[in-house]
Amino acid sequence: MSSLPTTRLTRRGALQVGSLGAVGLDLSRLLAADTTRSANPPAAKSCILFYMEGGPSHIDLWDMKPQAPAEVRGKFRPISTSLPGITLCEHLDMWAPRMRHLAMIRSATHDVNDHNAGTYYVLTGDHPLKGSRLTVAPSPDNHPPLGSVLAHLRPSEQLVPDFVHLPEVIFNNGHFIPGQQAGFLGDACDPFVAGNPGLPGYRAPGLGRISTLDETRLNRRKGLLSRIDRVGRLTDPTPTGTRLDTFYKKAFSLVASPAAQRAFDLTQEPESLRRRYGLGFAPKQPVRKGGGLPCLGQSLLLARRLIEAGVRLVTVCSGLRYDQSWDTHRSHYPLLEKSLLPFANRGFAALLDDLHERGLLDETLVVAMGEFGRTPKLGQITSGAGAEPDGRDHWPHCYSVFLAGAGVKAGTVFGSSDRHAAYPAENPVGPADITATIYSLLGIDPQARIRDRLDRPHTISNGTPIAGVMA
């Protein structure tokens, strides 16, 4: 299936059908299915979530305080944007003219200082503190992330995965970081982990029928899977069992679907467009091994292709599995200037332009965020990882989030921070409010209920949609 850990055996685990396991399309979603859907048509058909794992420095990038003391304001210079009175960092010169497409939240806040638990919180909206324990690892009892809920409630009508994750599942402190796996919705709603499209000759892993599986063998396996399911229904009857055939047909068709294979084929794009996203781009004297974030631009381009093909949600992480890309405890400014911002500046601007030029921005929601911000003062220590005098540590008390596209009030700045960007000064909002906003923009009632494998109801999000960023 994906690179995510599997904690229980499903019926699908009894039989592989070609490369079916790689596409996140087993049928266990039906064992926990809920027919709850929005009565209103969605403003956005799909979503691209640009996840800046590690925690980008809001105070150095998009909530700058040039009048603050030197140890607060840092080294970067603010520049004007297409929004009067709003500035960004000088190294985001390609974002600046595109601010007219964006709504920026400057008052996001929470109380979780840990990468794993913080990621779980912002990707699910569910607070990670359970009793006296933080959620720091995947569990079948975890609340599902945005993409898994979409896969469950609004699966794609096209022969593509419902939920895709690029490029790799992120990992920290001995665990896959929670909030990437479907949790109590079951592994049918896990993302298809599509690998690194920045590599030469990239092909999505496992997509397409394996060479030794001809039509006859495929049909035999289909029949065997049907018999296994009939036995399973005798021992574990569900009211949704009669609808299994629909999901079987989609799953088997996807094994050798030309449409799915085309969606993942970046060679279909003109080289000029791939270069706009950063193909072949390398900043001078990159600080990090590998040259910073070389996978980011092509991941964002592939995300556009996938939502165009019908994928409901694509999560694009900035870097690879162990990078924790924006986690700048030391060498903060060299990392930002030479390894991180050159790729994020170019890639995200190209995505906004590409979606706008194709008319897709009117039907696609784009979200950009990390799990938290960075400390107001250089060298300030707030976590076990600490901070060197030239670094910034974790800071969840105030950070920034961007939205663009369908249903978003473009050219808006919501909320504000205090004079050191340490705490919200007005309109504080938390991860549950942000996930509730995303669900609302996708036409899903945040108060809708979904059910776990024990048929217990759970509210999708306990937050309140942020009216100030919604058109």
240, part of any domain: yes
4, part of any domain: no
pLDDT at 257: 76
Supply the pTM of this predicted model: 0.88
Has residue 83 got a pLDDT over 60? yes
The total domain count for the chain is 1
Backbone phi, then psi, for 51, in 5-degree steps? -100, 120
6, part of any domain: no
pLDDT at 323: 85
Q: Which of 434, 195, 168 is nearest to 317 (CA)?
A: 168
Calculate mean pLDDT across residues 450-471.
Answer: 96
pLDDT at 222: 65
124, part of any domain: yes
Calculate mean pLDDT across residues 338-343.
Answer: 94
37, part of any domain: yes
| Per-residue pLDDT tens over the stretch 188-231 | 899 999 999 999 999 998 776 555 666 677 667 667 766 666 65
Residue pair 437/469 in contact (Cβ under 8 Å)? The answer is: yes
212, part of any domain: yes
Separation of alpha carbons 439 and 182, rounded Å:
16
Residue 249 pLDDT class (50, 70, 90 cuts) = low
Residue pair 11/235 in contact (Cβ under 8 Å)? The answer is: no
- Close Cβ partners of 205 (under 8 Å, ≥ 6 residues apart): 22, 193, 194, 195
Has residue 459 got a pLDDT over 50? yes
Residue 48 pLDDT class (50, 70, 90 cuts) = very high
Q: DSSP characters for 87-129?
A: EEEGGGTTTGGGGGGEEEEEEE--S---HHHHHHHHHH---SE
Q: Which two tokens stand for residue 67?
A: 């009048």
Separation of alpha carbons 138 and 351, rounded Å:
31
Residue 84 Cα distances to 177, 411, 470, angstroms: 39, 10, 20
2, part of any domain: no
Return the SS3 of 170: coil
pLDDT at 231: 58
The mean pLDDT of the chain is: 87
Determine what percent of the chain is predicted with pLDDT higher than 70: 80
Containing structural domain, residue 253: 11-397+416-469
pLDDT at 13: 38
233, part of any domain: yes
Separation of alpha carbons 404 and 367, rounded Å:
7
pLDDT at 11: 38
Residue pair 148/183 in contact (Cβ under 8 Å)? The answer is: yes
